[in-house]
Amino acid sequence: MSMMNQVMTKSGDLENTRTQHVNYVQQGIGAPVILTHGLAASLHDWDDLLPALAAGGYTGYALDLFGHGESYKPVDHRKYTFDAVFEHFSAWINSLPIKEPMVLVGHSLGGGVVLQYALRYPERVRALVLVNPFYDIHQLPPILRLAFRRKLINTTLIEHTPYRLFRFFVDMTNVNFNIGQRATHTLPEHIRYQTALDYTRAASGIYNIPRSLPDLTSSLPHINQPTLLLWGSRDQTLAPESFPNIEKLLPNVRTSHTFPICGHVPHQCHPENFNPLVMKFLSEL
């Protein structure tokens, strides 16, 4: 198997200490593209995009964020903040053998992370791909906004929630009753399985992260990198109307696209349509 088609699973320890462990995968040879997932997800969000990047002549890197997947999960829930996620992400990038500006791809919380990175280190960012980006807590429905504003201390219930209950939640939120006369799902079986598994693998403290998300709205006009903006119009997690708003605030959105039957994860809902849009954007940079 050629190097272009191989996925190299790697893990490392940041700042020479086991306390900052990071798990990531790398695939392909070429210009660097960094893939960043959302809350309670994992690097497996990008299982469909990584091979497309490698085949297109890019090096794709996807990590498990702080508190997610197989990366570092501190026991102390006070350590789960947006700043901690960002510092973990930034230190990981610094550990990679990348010298040229990168394309940053971010979904949901990952969108907020890459936007913050572009603000702090603009010289290191070649372009942005934003997928249902989370940049302001007011994007959340009122009930979730209220829940996330309160610091989560007792997580016993979350920690003991079995896979089958997470799977039930994932299945019910992805039922589509508008296709024909019978119910179907907007996400395929293997994606729903992985999504529920990622919920069980994530540390319960991650649900404290959204409350510390900085409001990036006023800073968005300062991000000048070429940007591709993609979103699912049936998003039940973040307000769909917030995505046209960010398109108005970012000064260099080259292309935007809406997936009308997809929800919060269009990159997993319809990768056969999503991936060509990303590859076309990259080829035009």
Give the per-residue pLDDT at 8.
67
Return the percentage of the chain with pLDDT > 90, whole number.
Answer: 69
Q: What is the mean pLDDT of the chain?
A: 87
pLDDT of residue 190: 80
pLDDT tier for residue 28 given thresholds of 50, 70 and 90: very high
Beta strands per DSSP E along the chain: 7-13, 21-27, 31-36, 58-63, 102-107, 125-131, 175-176, 184-185, 227-232, 253-259
At residue 154, does pLDDT exceed 70? no
Residue 1 reports pLDDT greater than 50: no
Kindly tell me the sign of the dihedral angle through the C-alpha atoms of 164, 166, 169, 174. negative
| Mean pLDDT of the region 27-45 | 97
Could you tell me the CATH number of the domain that includes residue 97? 3.40.50.1820
Which residues are within 8 A (CB) of 188 and not within 5 positions of it... i.e. 6 or more apart? none
pLDDT at 171 over 70: no
Per-residue pLDDT reduced to its tens digit, 215-245: 999 999 999 999 999 999 999 899 999 999 9
- The predicted-structure confidence for 175-186, as pLDDT tens digits, reads as follows 554 444 444 546
Number of domains in the chain: 1
Domain that holds residue 162: 3-283
175-176 and 184-185 as β-strands: parallel, antiparallel, unpaired? Answer: antiparallel
What pLDDT is attached to residue 148?
A: 75
- State whether residue 190 is helix, strand or coil: helix
Query: What percentage of the chain carries pLDDT values higher than 70?
Result: 81
Residues 6 or more apart whose CB falls under 8 angstroms from that of 168 comprise none
**4 or 80, higher pLDDT:** 80
Classify residue 199 by burial, with Cβ atoms within 10 Å: 0-12, 13-18, 19+. buried
pLDDT tens for each residue of 240-274: 999 999 999 999 999 999 999 899 999 999 999 99
pLDDT at 122 over 90: yes
